[in-house]
Amino acid sequence: MLTPPIPSAEDQLRFLTNIQRVFAEGDFTATYKFALLIALADLAVELGADDGRELVLSTRQIGERFIQMYWRQALPYGKGLADLSPGVLVQNNGVQAAVISAIATFRATQGVGTYQTARSLPEFQALLARVARVVSAQPLNYLQNFGGTTNDFLYERTSPGRVRLKPGVAYCLRQFHPLVQQLARSHWVGHIKGNPRNHVILGEADDLENFLFSTSRQSLLVMAAGLRKLDGPSCFYCAGTLTAGDVDHFVPFSQYPRDLAHNFVLAHPSCNRSKSATLAARPHLERWLERLELRSDALAEIGQAAGLVVDAQVSRQIAAWGYTSAMASGGSAWLAAARYEPIDRSYSGCFAT
């Protein structure tokens, strides 16, 4: 069976136009549709390929991403902040979103603090099944309704518990992943800020986006301590001695905004600032891939302790996607302060084994 070709420039433009219409013309009574777009984009990067093939996903795969995204959001916002009334942010125009309520109940009854710990419990499967049913009944049914009609441009329901991303959709989600993520997250923040019931919780808060989407400071501190013990007190990039170090996303957070334990390294603050949102050059990439292979289990243990998502293969897949995309667009990679090199085909060889 022939692999469908990648979408033409016209097809890609049509895809982006429809994504824009979802946000401009869709009905957003809850934040579920934003979460669904983020989940589909992430899964396309992690499981898809740079061709026009369809991608079949299960509602349980999507549901698990919902639990990851909403896990921290089921906690009260505003603790320790002056002039605020701490509370769980309302994510629905009506009653509280069912996913938030289900996670909050699970956390309370099971007495677990991190998603990774929760995932290891037998009772987690019941939570996942419940969230998958919500995903199936609500955002999957309504995301493609906009402009007064239904436009099935993203996916179609195939069998119970399955959806199929249409030919070319996974490619477009991979190609435009940062844009889809940015649009979904900014509208998500706006939706929560626009709900009057959240005003007494939020006040004039300016850290809402960090609360919704970033790893907690405590988790990063645990990760930093574990990385220092594992790799020693040296900067991953320049090998200089560390006193205070930053926990840096090897594949920049701006390119793939999801915190994965295997994607973290310790770096000098100056190296971290200099690298910024750029991919690291080949010498750094080769060492990162070697470290991923040799120390995967140790990194997983640190990630578990920090409550982060642990998946070495996904981290590798994200890196491969990031460098392939950068090569296609003529991007450069960071060697050191003010030093860059083109990302050429030699980078692909790093992922060949």
User: Tens digit of pLDDT per residue, the chain (353 long)?
Assistant: 678 889 999 999 999 999 999 999 999 999 999 999 999 999 999 999 999 999 999 999 999 999 999 999 999 987 655 566 788 999 998 778 899 999 999 999 999 989 999 999 999 999 999 999 999 999 999 999 999 999 999 999 988 899 999 999 999 999 999 999 999 999 999 999 999 999 888 877 678 898 999 888 889 999 999 999 999 999 999 999 998 889 999 999 989 999 999 999 999 999 999 999 999 999 999 999 999 999 999 999 999 999 999 999 999 999 999 999 999 999 999 999 999 999 999 999 999 86
Total domains in the chain come to: 2
Segments forming the whole domain that contains residue 132: 9-213
Q: How far apart are CA 324 and CA 1, in angstroms?
A: 25
Q: How far apart are CA 264 and CA 257, in angstroms?
A: 12
pLDDT of residue 1: 65
Sign of torsion over alpha carbons 255, 256, 258, 264: negative
Looking at the domain assignment, is residue 245 inside a domain?
A: yes
pLDDT of residue 86: 81
Looking at the domain assignment, is residue 314 inside a domain?
A: yes
pLDDT of residue 82: 58
CA angle, 128 then 129 then 130, to 5°: 90
CB burial of 246-284 (b: ≥16 within 10 Å; e: otherwise) equals: bbbbbbbeebbbbbbbbbbbbbbeebbebbeebbbbbeb
pLDDT of residue 84: 64
Looking at the domain assignment, is residue 91 inside a domain?
A: yes
Looking at the domain assignment, is residue 238 inside a domain?
A: yes
Say yes or no: 233 and 280 in one domain.
yes
Say yes or no: 234 and 334 in one domain.
yes
Looking at the domain assignment, is residue 2 inside a domain?
A: no
Q: How far apart are CA 59 and CA 150, in angstroms?
A: 20
Q: Do residues 240 and 268 touch, judged by C-beta distance below 8 A?
A: yes
Q: Which helix (H) or strand (E) holds 316?
A: helix 312-328
Rg (CA), the chain: 21
Q: Quick one: how far is CA 61 from the chain centroid?
A: 14
Say yes or no: 48 and 177 in one domain.
yes
**Residue 201: both structure tokens together:** 């919780």
Say yes or no: 133 and 239 in one domain.
no
Q: What residues are paired with 341 via a beta bridge?
A: 333
Q: Do residues 52 and 168 touch, judged by C-beta distance below 8 A?
A: yes
**Residue 337 exposure: Cα atoms within 13 Å on the Cβ side:** 7
CA angle, 54 then 56 then 62, to 5°: 130
Say yes or no: 268 and 135 in one domain.
no
**Residue 116: both structure tokens together:** 């990774």
Say yes or no: 155 and 300 in one domain.
no
Strand spans (E) along the chain: 55-58, 145-146, 149-150, 155-157, 162-165, 246-249, 264-267, 332-336, 339-342
Say yes or no: 147 and 244 in one domain.
no
